[in-house]
Structure 1
Amino acid sequence: MSDRLTLAALLAHPAGGGLHPVAGADPATEWRDLVVGAGETDLPDDGTGLLALLTSAPPATPWQQDALVRRVRDRGYRALAAPGAEGFGPGTRALAERLGLALLAVDEPMALARAAWELVEGRDALTLGYVRRVAQSIEYHADNLADLLRHLSASVGHGVALIDGEGVLLQAGGELPSAVHAAIDFGPWLDTVAVADGSAASVRVDSPSRAGLRLAVFGTGLSTFQLSALGIAAEVAMPAVAARILIDEVADVNDAAVASGLLRDFLERSDDRDAELEQRMLERGWRTTGYHLGFRMIGRSRVDTLQLLRFVTRELTALPLDSHVATSGRGVTGWLSFAAPPAPSRVEEAVRALRMLHASARRSFTVATGIGTLETGPAGLVATIEGAADAARLAADRSATGYFLRIDALGLEQLLLSWTGSDTFVPAAESLLAPLLARGPELVETLTAYLDHESGIAATADALGLHRNTVSTRIARAQELLGLDLADPETRLAVHLACRAVRR
Structure 2
Amino acid sequence: MSASVSALLNNPIFVGLYRLAGEGDPVVTTVGALTGESAQSAEAVSGAAGAGSVLVILDRIDVGEWRFDALLRRTAATGCRVLAVHSTAAEDANLSLLADRLGLVVLGVSDPWQFSVDLRDLLSNSRAVMADAVLRATHAGQRAGGSVENLLSVLLNTFQRSFILLDASGRPLTGADLLSDADRAAAGMLSGRGAPTTVELDSGGVLIACPVMSGAAREPWLAVLLPVRQSVEEASLSVVLDVASLAAGHRLAVARMVDEREARRRSALLGELIDTSADATPGLLRRALDAGWALDGWHIGIKVLAVGEVDLVARRSEVADALAAEGIDANVVEQADGWAAWTTLPGEPRPESITRIAESIRAAQARLEPTMETWVGVGRAHDGPAGIGASLSEAGDAARLAGSRSQTGRFLHVDRLGLAQLLLAWTRTDTFQPAAAALLAPLRDSNGELLETLSTYLDEESSLAHTATRMGLHRNTVSSRIDRIQRLLSVDLADPETRLALHLACRTIAP
TM-score normalized by the length of structure 1: 0.69
Distance in 1, matches of 2:439 and 2:372, equals 22
**Counterpart of 1:9?**
7
**Counterpart of 2:139?**
136
**Counterpart of 2:97?**
98
Please tell me the residue identity of whatever aligns with 1:45: V
Stretches of structure 2 lacking an aligned partner (at least 5 in a row): 453-488, 492-496
Distance in 2, matches of 1:229 and 1:377, equals 60
Partner SS, residue 187 of structure 1: coil
Distance in 2, matches of 1:387 and 1:164, equals 34
TM-score normalized by the length of structure 2: 0.68
1:404 Cα deviation from its structure 2 partner: 0.8
Which whole-Å deviations, capped at 9, do the CAs of 1:301-353 have from their partners, x for residues lacking one? Answer: 78654355254245446556534311135321123567999999887665444
CA separation of 1:321/1:199 partners in 2, compared to 1, >3 Å: closer, same or farther?
A: same
Distance in 2, matches of 1:372 and 1:324, equals 15
**Counterpart of 1:473?**
none
**Counterpart of 2:223?**
216
1:30 counterpart (5, 13, 27) = 27
**2:193 paired with 1:187:** yes
Asked whether the 8 Å contact 2:2–2:231 carries over to 1, the reply is no
**2:395 paired with 1:388:** yes
Distance in 2, matches of 1:42 and 1:320, equals 71
Please tell me the residue identity of whatever aligns with 2:143: Y
Write out aligned runs for 1:390-469 (5 A). 390-416=397-423, 433=430, 457=444
1:111 Cα deviation from its structure 2 partner: 4.2
CA separation of 1:278/1:29 partners in 2, compared to 1, >3 Å: closer, same or farther?
A: farther
Distance in 2, matches of 1:332 and 1:168, equals 22
Distance in 2, matches of 1:122 and 1:326, equals 54
CA separation of 1:408/1:21 partners in 2, compared to 1, >3 Å: closer, same or farther?
A: farther
Distance in 2, matches of 1:462 and 1:115, equals 74
Report the number of matched residues: 444
Asked whether the 8 Å contact 1:10–1:115 carries over to 2, the reply is no
Which whole-Å deviations, capped at 9, do the CAs of 1:92-137 have from their partners, x for residues lacking one? Answer: 5222322225454445544433331233111112211221121111
2:37 counterpart (38, 41, 55) = 41
**2:129 paired with 1:126:** yes
Write out aligned runs for 1:484-503 (5 A). none
Which whole-Å deviations, capped at 9, do the CAs of 1:224-247 have from their partners, x for residues lacking one? Answer: 233233223322333333333322
**2:111 paired with 1:113:** no
Which whole-Å deviations, capped at 9, do the CAs of 1:343-386 have from their partners, x for residues lacking one? Answer: 99887665444324434656665642112346788676666545
CA separation of 1:179/1:257 partners in 2, compared to 1, >3 Å: closer, same or farther?
A: closer
Asked whether the 8 Å contact 2:326–2:363 carries over to 1, the reply is no
1:405 Cα deviation from its structure 2 partner: 0.4
CA separation of 1:451/1:271 partners in 2, compared to 1, >3 Å: closer, same or farther?
A: farther
Write out aligned runs for 1:42-441 (5 A). 42-43=38-39, 44-46=44-46, 47=49, 50-54=53-57, 65=64, 67=66, 69-76=68-75, 78-81=81-84, 85-86=87-88, 88-89=89-90, 93-100=92-99, 102-172=105-175, 175-176=178-179, 177-178=183-184, 180-181=186-187, 184=190, 186-195=192-201, 197-211=204-218, 213-267=220-274, 271=278, 284-286=291-293, 293-299=300-306, 305-307=312-314, 309-313=316-320, 315-316=322-323, 321-336=328-343, 351-359=358-366, 361=368, 367-373=374-380, 384-416=391-423, 433=430
Stretches of structure 1 lacking an aligned partner (at least 5 in a row): 437-443, 464-485
After TM superposition, the structure 1 stretch with the greater mean CA deviation from structure 2, 217-226 or 259-268, is 259-268
Asked whether the 8 Å contact 2:303–2:392 carries over to 1, the reply is yes
Which whole-Å deviations, capped at 9, do the CAs of 1:69-109 have from their partners, x for residues lacking one? Answer: 534423326555456x44x24xx522232222545444554
Please tell me the residue identity of whatever aligns with 1:132: L
Asked whether the 8 Å contact 2:301–2:378 carries over to 1, the reply is yes
**Counterpart of 2:474?**
none
1:396 Cα deviation from its structure 2 partner: 3.6
Q: Equivalent pairs: percent with the same residue?
A: 22
Asked whether the 8 Å contact 1:36–1:53 carries over to 2, the reply is yes
Distance in 1, matches of 2:407 and 2:503, equals 20
Distance in 2, matches of 1:452 and 1:137, equals 71
Distance in 2, matches of 1:287 and 1:54, equals 72
Asked whether the 8 Å contact 1:137–1:151 carries over to 2, the reply is yes
